[in-house]
Amino acid sequence: MTQPKPQPGILDIELYIGGKSTVHGVQDILKLSSNENPNGPPMSAQQALAAAATTLHRYPGSDHSGLRNALADVHGIDVNKIICGCGSDELISFLCQAYSGPGVEVIHTSHGFLMYKLYAMAAGATIVSVPEADRYVNVDSILAAITPCTGLIFVANPGNPTGTKISDTDIARLIERAPKDVLIVLDGAYADYIEGWDGGASFVESHSNVVMLRTLSKMYGLGGLRVGWGYGPKHVIDVLNRVRGPFNLSAPSLAAGEAAVLDRDFVINHRIQNNTARSWLADELAALGVASDPSEANFILARFSDQTHAEACDDYLQAVGILVRRVGGYGLPQALRITVPDMVGCARVVAGIKAFLEQAA
């Protein structure tokens, strides 16, 4: 039958499957499958969202000036070099659309965030996956994979689903040695969990081929609103604004996002809560024989003896209402990614995994 055909390669894109949120027949669900903030959104953002309800008949501003000014103030960066997206996912898509395409190679690391690959494929680009070293991004492997066709390099730091972070010295080496016409994207989706770190903003200041991505979906508890932002050289931001729809962010998203960014107490308190709970969870699981790498994010990657063991643990946890994430699609079938909940939730996870190990022994 004759029917419209998509562009070559589009049907090769795997459908992204989000974290599980329900289990049939189980009531008391602890959802730890999408790296969401266990405390929910800040009250300041909820109030701004409610206030925005009275002006829903108005189109949002297209320059996102309120949110961009708040980000510039809080991070001490240049407002003219910020772009906002419908989640940082949308900015990944703009980058692939504008800086890759047929014949262009896009480098990502073997356990890197899936959306790099999916959007690069949607743009018709060639994906180049380079190995990580024991679940850490390896700058030498990236440098070795660069060819005259390389257009974009994506590095999540900290990584998802690994949680590991490479040093600014390593990032500097990557930037210094990569050709200046290759755009290097430093994805700092989890940078807010690292006190005093700029997520890569200083590299943007000093190089014309570096972009930083950030999101309000994690630390700021606004995954449902879809707000992300990027910081890059003016010439890159100008390009991305040309592929951005003028009203890509809704007025309520802009209002709530701005309020959340300005709510510094929320960020400070949640960072302390997360990082304390994360250490406790990792230590308790290690004591049970379930290892994880040092995580700098709001999740840990728990490693089991093999894929069968990891999947059996996931099945057991699901049956008791604890939803974590299988990461076979990231080349880590023997691991489960567990979002760090509050301390009550952490105790429930440890008890669940302990019970699984006892019954599996």
Ligand X SMILES: Cc1ncc(COP(=O)(O)O)c(C=O)c1O
Kind plus residue range of the DSSP H or E element containing 255? helix 251-262
Residue of this chain nearest to ligand X (CB atom): 87
For the chain, how many residues are written? 361
Interacting residue with ligand X among 36, 105, 132, 187 (CB under 6 A): 187
Q: Which is nearer to ligand X, 187 or 263 (CB)?
A: 187
Q: Which is nearer to ligand X, 102 or 224 (CB)?
A: 224
Answer for the pair 49, 227: CB distance below 8 angstroms, yes or no: no
Q: Which is nearer to ligand X, 150 or 217 (CB)?
A: 217
Q: Which pair of structure tokens corresponds to residue 70? A: 């708040």
Question: Strands, E, within the chain: which ranges?
Answer: 30-31, 82-85, 105-109, 126-130, 150-156, 183-187, 210-215, 228-231, 299-303, 322-323, 325-326, 335-339
Interacting residue with ligand X among 36, 89, 105, 263 (CB under 6 A): 89
Q: Which is nearer to ligand X, 336 or 350 (CB)?
A: 336
| Shortest distance, position 319 Cβ to ligand X, whole Å | 26
The C-alpha angle 26, 292, 35, rounded to 5 degrees, equals: 50
Which residues, 6 or more positions from 361, have their beta carbon under 8 angstroms from its beta carbon? none
Interacting residue with ligand X among 97, 162, 217, 318 (CB under 6 A): 217
Answer for the pair 1, 116: CB distance below 8 angstroms, yes or no: no
Q: Is 88 in the site for ligand X (CB under 6 A)?
A: yes
Q: Which is nearer to ligand X, 189 or 317 (CB)?
A: 189
Answer for the pair 71, 91: CB distance below 8 angstroms, yes or no: no
The 3-state DSSP class for residue 319 equals helix
Interacting residue with ligand X among 97, 160, 248, 273 (CB under 6 A): 160
Instruction: Give residue 152's identity as a one-letter amino acid code.
Output: L
The CA distance from 254 to 70, in Å, is 11
Interacting residue with ligand X among 215, 273, 275, 292 (CB under 6 A): 215
Q: Which is nearer to ligand X, 217 or 318 (CB)?
A: 217
* Listed ranges 72-80, 86-94, 102-110, 176-184: which one lies at the site for ligand X (CB under 6 A): 86-94
Q: Is 189 in the site for ligand X (CB under 6 A)?
A: yes
Q: Is 162 in the site for ligand X (CB under 6 A)?
A: no
Residues 21-40 binding ligand X (CB under 6 A) are 35
Binding string, residues 237-256; x marks residues near ligand X by CB under 6 A: --------------------
Q: Which is nearer to ligand X, 216 or 313 (CB)?
A: 216
| Shortest distance, position 288 Cβ to ligand X, whole Å | 26
Q: Which is nearer to ligand X, 37 or 88 (CB)?
A: 88
The 3-state DSSP class for residue 227 equals coil
Residue tagged 């630390």 (tokens): 219
Q: Is 113 in the site for ligand X (CB under 6 A)?
A: yes
| Shortest distance, position 116 Cβ to ligand X, whole Å | 8
Interacting residue with ligand X among 221, 223, 232, 352 (CB under 6 A): 223
The CA distance from 251 to 267, in Å, is 23
The CA distance from 306 to 234, in Å, is 47
Q: Which pair of structure tokens corresponds to residue 89? A: 């996912």
Interacting residue with ligand X among 77, 120, 139, 156 (CB under 6 A): 156
DSSP string, 83-106: EEESHHHHHHHHHHHHH--TT-EE
| Shortest distance, position 188 Cβ to ligand X, whole Å | 8
Q: Which pair of structure tokens corresponds to residue 153? A: 């390099």
Q: Which is nearer to ligand X, 30 or 297 (CB)?
A: 297
Which residues, 6 or more positions from 16, have their beta carbon under 8 angstroms from its beta carbon? 114, 115, 118
Q: Is 87 in the site for ligand X (CB under 6 A)?
A: yes
Residue ranges in contact with ligand X by CB under 6 A: 35, 87-89, 113, 156, 160, 187, 189, 215, 217, 223, 228
